[in-house]
């Protein structure tokens, strides 16, 4: 009887801890899109500069006009020897007063993070040019880490968080009709906001 009660208590305790709750070192954000919701956990302890920048965009509503507009698949990058798969979003390539100054580049060598399935990371040109544009990995993408061959400078990209729910939405976005990696109809980001826990 005591054994049964003990096992029942362990089971009940396990059931009460399945909801992921925001903690100071892993804030949660909800990216609401036309195709569904994407929940992302951020890592400010590992990537403080990048997370601070992203959360400033979130808290100041600077993603008000944002969308997912670019998709990279195995079949739409014929000129690249090193293939990747991502969806990219943000303010876009237009001039905008919502865009903040560029930030310092936090490499995966420095942060210890890696570009895995669902990793959110910063788009850039040269190191130190990331600002408002970000991408989400579809599948493990070690080609985007420090020392990889995808980018000639070898510095990789600045990973700063992880999708914890909503990869089905990411895949829907990636599957949209595109021309030369640009979505024919960008997927509007309805809002990005901090949340306390997963529903």
Which among 122, 141, 147 has a CA at the least distance from the CA of 132?
122
pTM above 0.85, yes or no: yes
Task: For residues 110 and 107, give the distance between their C-alpha atoms in angstroms, rounded to a whole number.
Answer: 5
| 16 has a pLDDT exceeding 60 | no
| 170 has a pLDDT exceeding 60 | yes
Q: Which token pair is 167?
A: 């990869």
| Predicted local distance difference test score (pLDDT) of residue 79 | 86
pLDDT digits (tens, 9 = 90+) for 90-121: 999 888 999 999 999 999 999 999 999 999 99
Once rounded to an integer, what is the mean pLDDT over residues 108-137? 97
- Confidence band for 20, pLDDT divided at 50, 70 and 90: low
Indicate the burial class of 163 (C-beta count within 10 angstroms; 0-12, 13-18, 19 or more).
buried
| Predicted local distance difference test score (pLDDT) of residue 81 | 84
- Can you identify the CATH homologous superfamily of domain 21-195? Cyclophilin-like (2.40.100.10)
pLDDT digits (tens, 9 = 90+) for 29-66: 999 999 999 999 999 999 999 999 999 999 999 999 99
| Predicted local distance difference test score (pLDDT) of residue 82 | 87
Query: Which segments of 91-167 are extended strands (E)?
Result: 119-122, 134-137, 158-165
pLDDT digits (tens, 9 = 90+) for 70-85: 999 999 998 888 899 9
Neighbour tally for 17: CB within 10 Å:
8
Share of the chain above pLDDT 90, in %: 80
Per the CB < 8 A criterion, the answer to whether 67 and 95 are in contact is no
């Amino acid at each position: 009887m005591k054994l049964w009660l003990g096992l029942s208590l362990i089971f009940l305790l396990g059931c009460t801890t399945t909801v992921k709750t925001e903690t100071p070192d892993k804030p949660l954000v909800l990216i609401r899109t036309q195709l569904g919701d994407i929940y992302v956990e951020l890592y400010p302890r590992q990537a403080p500069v990048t997370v601070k920048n992203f959360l400033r965009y979130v808290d100041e509503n600077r993603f008000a006009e944002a969308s997912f507009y670019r998709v990279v698949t195995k079949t739409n990058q014929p000129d690249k020897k090193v293939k990747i798969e991502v969806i990219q979003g943000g303010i876009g390539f237009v001039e905008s007063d919502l865009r903040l100054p560029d930030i310092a580049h936090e490499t995966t060598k420095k942060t210890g993070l890696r570009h895995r399935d669902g990793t959110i990371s910063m788009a850039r040109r040269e190191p130190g040019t990331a600002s408002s544009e970000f991408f989400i990995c579809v599948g493990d993408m070690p080609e985007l880490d420090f020392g990889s061959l995808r980018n000639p400078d070898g510095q990789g990209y600045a990973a700063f968080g992880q999708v914890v729910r909503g990869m089905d939405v990411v895949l829907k976005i990636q599957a949209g009709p595109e021309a030369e990696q640009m979505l024919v109809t960008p997927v509007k980001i309805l809002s990005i906001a901090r949340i306390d826990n997963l529903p």
